[in-house]
């Protein structure tokens, strides 16, 4: 049986050698920072969508009131 290259996985995915531990920790920190920013943006986007939804519902209710008033005044 031949001995398999211990770094075959790294070579398969384009890494010529194993990633140093400090580089991995740095990359992990960068990714965690990006996730934190995305989560904050997600909260802001969700809040904006709720505000827009409430505004649209308020306009819809106002249109219904005006339409009802028109029909009531037309019958009188």
Question: Distance between CA 63 and CA 57 in Å, rounded?
Answer: 10
Look at residue 76 and tell me whether its pLDDT is greater than 70: no
Residue ranges making up the domain that contains 70: 45-76
Domain membership of residue 72 (yes or no) is: yes
**Span 45-49, mean pLDDT?**
96
Domain membership of residue 32 (yes or no) is: no
Domain membership of residue 56 (yes or no) is: yes
Domain membership of residue 18 (yes or no) is: no
CA-based end-to-end distance of the chain? 99
Q: Tell the residue number behind the tokens 């009131």, with chain if given.
A: 65
The total domain count for the chain is 1
Domain membership of residue 73 (yes or no) is: yes
Mean pLDDT of the chain: 82
Contact predicate 4/14, CB 8 Å? no
Domain membership of residue 65 (yes or no) is: yes
pTM: 0.51
Which residues lie below 8 Å from residue 10, measured CB to CB, with a gap of 6+?
A: 16, 17, 18, 19
Domain membership of residue 67 (yes or no) is: yes
pLDDT in tens, 7-40: 777 777 777 666 677 788 888 899 999 999 999 9
Look at residue 66 and tell me whether its pLDDT is greater than 70: yes
């Amino acid at each position: 049986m031949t001995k398999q290259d211990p770094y075959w996985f790294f070579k398969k995915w384009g890494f010529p050698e194993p990633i140093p531990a400090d580089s991995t920790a740095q990359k992990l920190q960068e990714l965690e920072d990006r996730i934190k920013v995305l989560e904050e943006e997600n909260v802001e986007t969700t809040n904006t969508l709720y505000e827009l939804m409430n505004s649209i519902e308020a306009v819809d209710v106002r249109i219904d009131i005006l339409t009802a008033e028109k029909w009531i005044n037309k019958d009188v």
